[in-house]
Amino acid sequence: MVTLEDIQAARERLRSAIRPTPCPQSDYFTERTECAAVYFKLENLQRTGAFKERGALNKLLTLTEDERRRGVIAASAGNHAQGVAYHARRLGVSATIVMPERTPLIKVSRTRDDYGARVVLKGTNYDEAYAEALRIQKAEDRVFIHPFNDAHVIAGQGTIGLELLEQCPDLEVVLVPIGGGGLISGIACALKETRPGIRVVGVQAETIASMKASMEAGERVLLAAAGTTIADGIAVKRVGDLTFPMVQKYVDEVVAVDEEEIAAAILTLLEQEKSVVEGAGAVGVAALLSGDVPSARGRRTAVILSGGNIDMNVISRIIERGLVKAGRLVQLEVRLPDRPGMLAKLTTQVADLRANVVEIHHERAFSKAGLGEAMVEVTLETTGPAHIEELERALHKLGWQVARK
């Protein structure tokens, strides 16, 4: 089991290459939640956009000369891949990375094009990519760098815990994302061995909560029917045999959040904190906003924003869905007389009520409207639910049928 001394040694190794990330207090989240204070540990500001490079570099720095010559291989959904690739290139070590086929393009391109690793796309999830990496490792005699189930990797991630203790000495609760358990194992060890009173809470995606299931069962559980998640960086079907006993020893609680909560957290961080955070990095915020961590109420709480490598297309979809849920984007279906000037009358009415037309579609032949009628689908930017109701009332007064899509 990794010790506090291992983590302290890792910090000395990493000191010249890994800069401590900020941990500011969030006024917005402190006011919105029932916590005494909320702090965000901004690991999304690392050079590769995630905490993973801490463990990757610590592992690389412990390799022998012979191991460096042979080169390394890793399996990763993206962040571990970038950490290994970036620091392997810095150290002059050949790196091969196996990534699931559905890995966001930004992570694939950065690993291959920006950081110079050979990338192999294989499988639909981490476990299938991992199996392919083991096959290549044996065939090419490379050193395997596991993303979470490795003592040096765990110790490297644990350096975040040491930084937290220095930056926020009065912390009472820390929320940490969990995939395979490497991050939370290291952080929890550093925290609990230094200040046992700190409460450590792990957070997983509900569709693939392998650590939560394992904790409840008292043994490692393989999720045979795991679902998909936008938190792809923590989509692991089975936690590590090194990480699981550490989580059992040091972690107080593991909770799970659903996809809508994760998406809402990403959007809130973007809008309120001006922070780009991927799904895996936002799960702690999702748990805090949804009230899944009652032990954080009235306490000084830190949340690890573990990474920011999110596909821009995903951000676009999350923003649009978030605007719809907030009532700031609405699609109305308006049935009106099929006469000249009616479409202009509709858009004039919308403009008079200070709504903005984003998209409009005018249909006759394929709509459910009767003869002499037309169906118009109009997407509008509004100020919120009350504004939408005002628009609907105004259109109804004109004698038009209006329905929300």
Place of tokens 């609907």: 392
Domains 4-51+150-319 and 327-404 share a fold: no
Smallest CA-to-CA distance from 173 within 258, 229, 255 is with 255
Q: What's the CA gap between 119 and 115, in Å, rounded?
A: 11
**What is the per-residue pLDDT for 371?**
77
Q: What pLDDT is attached to residue 325?
A: 87
With beta carbons less than 8 A apart as the criterion, state whether 373 and 336 touch.
yes
Can you tell me the distance from the alpha carbon of 282 to that of 269, in angstroms, rounded to the nearest whole number? 8
Do the Cβ atoms of 282 and 266 come closer than 8 Å?
yes
Does residue 242 contact residue 154 with C-beta atoms inside 8 Å?
A: yes
Token pair listed for 262: 């994760």
CA neighbor of 304 nearest in space, from 190, 152, 150? 190
Considering Cα of 223, then 224, then 225, then 228, what sign does the dihedral take? positive
pLDDT in tens, 54-70: 999 999 999 999 999 99
Q: Hey, CA dihedral for 223, 174, 295, 263, is it positive or negative?
A: negative
Cα gap 277→79, rounded to integer Å: 13
Beta bridge partners of 144: 73
Could you say which of 3.30.70.270, 3.40.1550.20, 3.40.50.1100, 1.10.3720.10 is the CATH number of the domain covering 4-51+150-319?
A: 3.40.50.1100
Kindly state the tokens that stand for 92: 């002059």
**Residues of the chain below pLDDT 70:** 365-367
Q: Is 306 a catalytic residue?
A: yes
52 catalytic per annotation: yes
- Note if the pTM is more than 0.75: yes
DSSP-derived 3-state class of residue 398: coil
Q: Which of 26, 214, 275, 306 is catalytic?
A: 306
Please give the CATH superfamily to which domain 327-404 belongs.
Answer: ACT domain (3.30.70.260)
* pLDDT in the model for residue 127: 77
pLDDT at 26: 97
Alpha carbon distance 104, 307 (integer Å): 13
For residue 379, what pLDDT is reported?
95
Provide the Cα torsion 320, 276, 26, 183; round to 10°.
Answer: 120
3-state SS class at 310: coil
Q: Show me where the domains of the chain are located.
A: 4-51+150-319, 72-141, 327-404
Catalytic: which of 26, 41, 52, 237? 52
φ, ψ of residue 295 to 5 degrees: the values are -65, -15
pLDDT at 179: 94
**Distance in angstroms between the alpha carbons of the first and the last residue of the chain:** 55
- Amino acid letter, 143: V
Enter the DSSP assignment of 123: S
Please state which CATH number belongs to domain 72-141.
3.40.50.1100
Burial class (CB in 10 A: 0-12, 13-18, 19+), 124: exposed
Alpha carbon of 268 to those of 29, 200, 405: distances in Å? 10, 23, 24
**Residue 2 CB partners (closer than 8 Å, separation 6+):** 151, 154, 155, 158, 185, 186, 189, 242, 246
Q: Which residues pair with 174 in a beta bridge?
A: 200, 302
Q: How many CA atoms lie within 13 A of 290 on its CB side?
A: 19
85 near 99, Cβ under 8 Å?
Answer: no
